[in-house]
Chains A and B, each alone.
Chain A
Amino acid sequence: MKITDMPLLQLSEAMAQGHLSSREITQAFIDRIREAEAQVGAYISIGEGEALRQADARDAARASGSPCGPLHGIPAAVKDNICVAGGRTTCASRMLEDFVSPCSAGVWERLERAGCVLLGKTNMDEFAMGSTTENSAFHPTCNPHDLTRVPGGSSGGSAAAVAAGEAAFALGSDTGGSIRQPAAFCGVVGMKPTYGTVSRYGLVAFASSLDQIGPMTRTVADNALVLDAIAGHDPRDTTSLQRTYQPFGRRIGQEVRGLCIGLPKEMFADGLSEDVRKTVMHAAQVLEGLGAQVTEVSLPSLKHALPAYYVMSSAEASSNLARFDGVRYGRRAAEYADLDELYVKSRSEGFGAEVKRRILLGTYALSAGYYDAYYKKALQVRTLVIRDFARVFGAVDCLLAPVAPTTAWRLGEKRDDPLAAYLQDVHSVPANIAGIPSLAMPCGRDRAGMPVGVQLMGAAFSEPLLYQVGHVLERALAPVREEVTV
C-alpha cells in the first residue's frame, strides 16, 4: 500500500517498528503534493524544508527514547484560518495575504506536542464564508474525484488534501457545515465536535458561538485519534469546556445492535437530490440490517434553523471582522486622505464579495430597530432547536441524515446565486446552532460517481457513540476513496 494511502495507525506502527521514518513518510507526502497540487490546488502555502526539518526532529526524538504517541511523526495539513506562528495565516483573504501570526493556535500547539509535522496551510473560502472554496482570494481548489467540480467549503482545501493523499490528515473548521460538507463532497471523514471541546484560541473567528475546529481524515478510527490530540480545555478560551476526555475511539468495534437511530423527517424533505436520498437511506438500511432500530423523528424548529443561522453567524462575523481595519496588521490601502478613507479603502480592497455581503447582512441584523426582529429572534430560534434536539435524544441514541442536498457541483456553477448556495447549508447548520457533535462520512456515490456523505449527530459529548456507529457503517459500505482521478 502506498504510504500516502495508509491509515494513521498503520503509519504509526511502521515508525514504531522502524520500517518507516517520519522523514520517509513526510517525503512521500511532499512527493504526492508535487504530483497532485497543480491539479488539485488544496494548499495556500507549503513548507517543504520546514516539514522535513520537523520530521527529522521527530525521528531523533523517537530514536532517543522519548515516548511517542500515535500521531508522532505524522504529517498534517492545517486550514489557513488556524494560526501557526512563524508562517502566514491568510484566511484565503487579501486582507491577510502577508500576515504572520505572533502566536500559534491551541490546537497546533497540541499537535506539535503530539509530534506532528506541518506540511502546509490549506485553501478555504475567504474567512470561512462559503461552501465551495471558490471564495478564496487566491485560487479555487478542485475536487480530487472530478477536477471540474468543487471540493465543497469552506474547508475545501483540507478535504481535498486528505482525499488526494496530500496529507495524512487535516484540520478544518465548521461553523455551518464547513468540515462536514467538504468531507461529504470529497469522500472523507470529518467531525464537528461538541461546541467547547476543541479550543478556538488561534482560530480566526468567523462566528464565535458556532465555530469549532475538527479533524478530517481518511477513516473513522483516524478521526478519533486526531480528536484525542486536539480536544481539551484551554485557559485562553473561556468557551472551551473544563473537562477531561477519555479516548474518543473507545467504543469503536462495538456493535450497533440495540441502538436506536432517528431519521429527522425535516432533513429528508423536498430539495434533496434523489441520489443523495437513496444513498443515505441505504446507509440507514445497512445499520438496520445490523440490528439497529431505525425510526423517523421530527424536529419542527429545523425549518427556521437556516435563516436563524445566517442572521446569527453574519451578525457575529460583522463584529469579528471589524478588527481588520488596516491599522495594526493586515492590508492597509496604499493611499488615503483621512481616517475614513483608510478604513473604507483597506476593507474594500482587502475583502471579497461574499465577506462583504455577510458583513452588511450582519451589521443590518444588529442595527438599532432591527436587533429584536433579527438577532434576538435568531437567538430564540436557537433555544427551540436546542430543545428539539434534547427531546429527540431522549428517544433515540443518534440521528442519521444527509450532509448536503446534493453532491459536488461544477466549478463556477453557483457563483451567481449566493442565496442558492446558502440553501445548501440547511442540513448542516442545526448541529452548529445546538452545539452538538456531528460526524460526516462517505456512504456511497451518485450516478456521476461523486461521493455522497451521511452525517451522524448525537447529544453533546456523544462523539464516542458516533465513532462507534460510523465505524460499523464504514466497515459495511464499500470504500469510496480508491477512485480519485488525480
Chain B
Amino acid sequence: MAWKMIDGYEMVIGLEVHVELNTRTKIFCGCPTTFGAAPNTQCCPVCMGYPGTLPVLNREVVHFAVLAGLATNCRIARFSKQDRKNYFYPDLPKAYQISQFDLPLCADGFLTVTAEAGEKRIGVTRIHIEEDAGKLIHDAEKGTLIDCNRCGVPLIEIVSEPDIRTPQEAAAYLRKLRAIMRYAGVSDCRMQEGSFRCDVNLSIRRPGEPLGTRTEMKNLNSFVSVQKAIEQEYLRQVEAMRAGEEIVQETRRFDQASGKTFSMRRKENAHDYRYFPEPDLAPIVLTDAQIDAWRAALPRLPDERKAEYLTRYGLTQYAAEQLVAERATADYFEEAVQHTHAPQTLANLMTAEVFRLMEGEEAAIPIPGPHLARIADMANDGEINNNSAKAVIAEIWQTGEAPDECVNRLGVRQLSDPEALRAFVTRAVEENPKMVAQYYGGKTTTKRALMGAAMRMTGGMANPAVLMQLMDEALDGAKEEC
C-alpha cells in the first residue's frame, strides 16, 4: 500500500547502514572474521584490548572501503585518519572504538533508486571505516555474558543524505545499496547474520520549512521492519505535532512483535564521545594510481548492466531488474545469453522458473549457462512449449542431463509438423459441430475452445502457434467454402 502524507507533513529520512566487510581477518589484528564460531574462540589480546597491545590497520579493509566508495560514486580522500570514539560498555574492550570522525575515507557520493515516483538520486554523505564491538548475551542464570568474537570485525558505515521521503524509497535504497556492496564483493550483506545493519533517522516537516527534530531508530532486522518502523514513527510524530508536543531527539528501539517503537532513554542518548585522533595509527594516504587500479578492477555494477540489458537484449524493466538484483545471477545471465538467439526468452525462464528453484538468492544454479540457453532456444523456436520448458528446467536441475536428452526422455518435443497437426484440427472440428456452429454464429471465442480440444487430442504436445494457424485455416477457410 503506498504511503500517504498526513496534515501536509513530509517525512525526511536519512539512513545509516553498517556493513561488515568480508576481509580475511579483523581490522586491527589477525583474528578470523567468520560468522558463527563458538564464543571467544576468534579473539586475541589485541582485539580484547589487553594492556600493552596496539592496533595495526589491515590494508584489505582500506581496499574494500574504497571499493564501496567507488561503487557509490564517492570522492575518495587521498588523506584520511582514524579517531578514537570514547565510551564505556562491556562489549567495547578498549572503552573506545577506533572509527573515523572528521576525515572519512569516502564522501559526497550517490546512488539511484527506482521507487513509486520513478528514478531518484539519494546522496551518500560519507563512508568511513571502524571496528565492530562484541556481542552481549543475556543469560537468565549467569547474567550478561560477553562474546568477543565480533570485537574488531571491520565495518564500513554508510551515511545517506536525508533525501528519502517515503518508506518505499527507503527500502529501495537499502536493496540497491545491498546489491552494490555484494557486486563490489566487499560484504555478503546478510541482515540475519548482522553483516548489514540499518538505523533510521526520521523527522517530519511541512515542505519548504526547516528540518524538524529527528529521532533515531535501531534494531531493524529486515527491510520490512524498516518500512514498518518508518510508517509507525511518522504516525507517532504527526500525532505528537497534532497534540502540540515537542519531538524529543532520542533513540528508539523497534519491537518486532508489536510493530511499535519504544524510547531507549539510556545514557547513550547524551553522549560526548571526546573524539581525538588515534595516536597509535598513521594517517591513511592513498595515491591516484592506487585508486585507479582499484577502480579498474571493480565489476560492472547493477545500473550499468540493467541499462545494457534493456538496450542490447530488449529485456523488460522488470526482467532486467530481477536479473541484476544479484551479481551471481547477472553474471550467469551474461554468460548464458552468449549461447542463445532468444535473450528475452532466456530472461523469462530465469525469472519465472530458475528463481523459483533456487533456494534463496545466494544459491548456485546447477544448470550450465549453455544448457539453459539451449532450452530458451527450443522454447523460442517452438520445439517445446513454455510449460515443457519449465518442466525440463526443473528436471535437469536434479538430473544434470543435457537439455535435448531430457526433452527426448520426457517426450515433450512439440508437434510442429503441419500435416500431422492438420489431422487433429480436422478431427476437433468434426467432433464438435455445436462449437463450430457457435463460432460461425459470431461467438469468436469458441475458436479457443476448439483449439483446446485439438490440443488435448495431441496430449498437449501441439505447437500452439502452428495449431492456431491450422485452426484459422480450417475454420475461416471452411467458412469461405460455406
Contacts and interface: CB of A to CB of B under 8 A. Distances in A.
Given A238-B281, A319-B84, A201 B274 contact: no
Nearest to A339: B90
B51 A99 contact: yes
A101 B50 contact: yes
Interface residues of B, number: 29
Interface stretch (B93-101, B300-308, B339-347, B464-472): B93-101
B172 to A, nearest CB: 37
Interface string A348-378: 0000000000000001001110010001000
Interface stretch (B54-62, B106-114, B228-236, B285-293): B54-62
Nearest to B28: A238
A328 B51 CA distance: 11
B139 to A, nearest CB: 15
B348 interface: no
B272 A368 contact: yes
Interface string A307-327: 000000001100100111101
Interface in A227-269: 235-239
Nearest to A239: B280
Interface in A52-111: 82-83, 89, 91, 96, 99, 101-103, 105
Interface in B256-280: 272, 274-276, 279-280
Nearest to A368: B272
A208 B51 contact: no
A101 B51 contact: yes
A201 B90 contact: no
B90 to A, nearest CB: 5
A319 B276 contact: yes
B45 interface: yes
A238 B95 contact: no
Given A201-B54, A315-B276, A363-B274, A325 B48 contact: no
Interface residues of A, number: 42
A323 B52 contact: no
A235 B30 CA distance: 12
Contacts of B274: 319, 363, 366-368, 371
B41 to A, nearest CB: 15
A323 B272 contact: no
Given A83-B52, A101-B51, A238-B57, A371 B276 contact: yes
Given A102-B45, A323-B93, A325-B88, A316 B54 contact: no
B55 A102 contact: no
Contacts of A102: 45, 50
Contacts of B52: 82-83, 89, 101, 103, 105, 201-205
B184 to A, nearest CB: 27
A323 B54 CA distance: 13
A328 B276 contact: no
Contacts of B272: 367-368
A200 interface: yes
Contacts of A295: none
Nearest to B278: A208
Contacts of A328: 48-50, 93, 146
A343 interface: yes
Contact of A236 (B54, B84, B86, B282): B54
Interface in A409-427: none
B249 interface: no
B53 interface: yes
A201 B53 contact: yes
Contacts of B45: 101-103
Given A99-B51, A201-B52, A323 B276 contact: no
A328 B49 CA distance: 9
A185 to B, nearest CB: 27
Among A203, A239, A319, max chain B CB count under 10 A is at A319
B54 A200 contact: yes
A203 B52 CA distance: 5
B389 to A, nearest CB: 59
Nearest to B29: A236
A202 B84 CA distance: 20
B86 A83 contact: no
Contact of A89 (B51, B55, B94): B51
B43 to A, nearest CB: 10
Nearest to A315: B276
A323 B51 contact: yes
A367 B46 CA distance: 27
Contact of A237 (B54, B57, B93, B275): B54
A209 interface: yes
Contact of B280 (A99, A202, A238): A238
A323 B53 CA distance: 11
Given A327-B93, A329-B51, 8 more contacts: A89-B51, A96-B51, A205-B51, A205-B52, A236-B46, A236-B56, A366-B274, A368-B274
24 contacts: A83-B51, A101-B45, A101-B50, A103-B45, A103-B50, A105-B52, A201-B52, A204-B51, A204-B52, A207-B279, A208-B280, A236-B46, A239-B279, A239-B282, A315-B276, A316-B279, A319-B84, A323-B95, A327-B93, A328-B50, A328-B146, A366-B274, A368-B272, A371-B274
Interface of B: 45-46, 48-57, 84, 86, 88, 90, 93-96, 146, 272, 274-276, 279-282
Q: Which 6 A-B pairs have the closest CB atoms?
A: A322-B95, A366-B274, A208-B279, A209-B279, A202-B52, A204-B51
